[in-house]
Amino acid sequence: MDELHLTQLGREVRGFDSPEAAVLERVPNPQADALYLARFTAPEFTSLCPVTGQPDFAHLVIDYAPADWLIESKSLKLYLASFRNHGAFHEDCTVAIGRKIAEVAQPRWLRIGGYWYPRGGIPIDVFWQTGPAPDGLWVPDQGVPTYRGRG
């Protein structure tokens, strides 16, 4: 998969029925020699509870330090939307997304924060990263406060 084989950018794509069917694409990083952080924020991520089939909602924050590749953002949007009818626990969704992005982009470093809204009265926050952040990389706070309810 490379810039010559993009299947979604600039084309009509109706989406995917499952994360397994979704195609996450990458493009060459024109600043591959620079150490920097790129952030994707998905404040309206949805999936399904694998037990009840009820919808689950999360605010995802994905930070990565690109190397030779960038994640193509339209394909990421479609990949994340493919979870809409996918049944999985919060931990599974969050870690699977992080691993998939790391596999495709092969970044210097990646972390994902999954800030899930309460299920059964308990919010679940899930964090995963590929390892320690590289020395010299500015890694800002993800900016998502702990769930407080209506208070």
Q: What is the pLDDT of residue 16?
A: 77
> Of 17, 49, 93, 141, which residue is the catalytic one?
49
Q: What is the pLDDT of residue 32?
A: 98
Q: What is the pLDDT of residue 121?
A: 85
Q: Please name each of the domains of the chain with its CATH number.
A: 24-36+45-129 (3.30.1130.10)
Q: What is the mean pLDDT of residues 69-90?
A: 96
Lowest mean pLDDT among 13-17, 96-100, 136-140: 13-17
Q: Is residue 149 scored above 80 in pLDDT? A: no
> Of 2, 17, 33, 56, which residue is the catalytic one?
56
Q: Is residue 75 scored above 70 in pLDDT? A: yes
Which tens digits make up the pLDDT trace of 24-71?
999 999 999 999 999 999 999 999 999 999 999 999 999 999 999 999
Q: What is the mean pLDDT of residues 69-91?
A: 96
Q: What is the mean pLDDT of residues 142-149?
A: 86
Torsion sign, CA atoms 64, 67, 72, 78: negative
Active site residue 125: no
State how far the alpha carbon of 79 is from the alpha carbons of 38, 48, 56, 76, 99, in Å: 18, 15, 17, 5, 13
The pTM (predicted TM-score) of the whole model is 0.91
Active site residue 49: yes
Q: Which H or E run contains 112?
A: strand 109-116
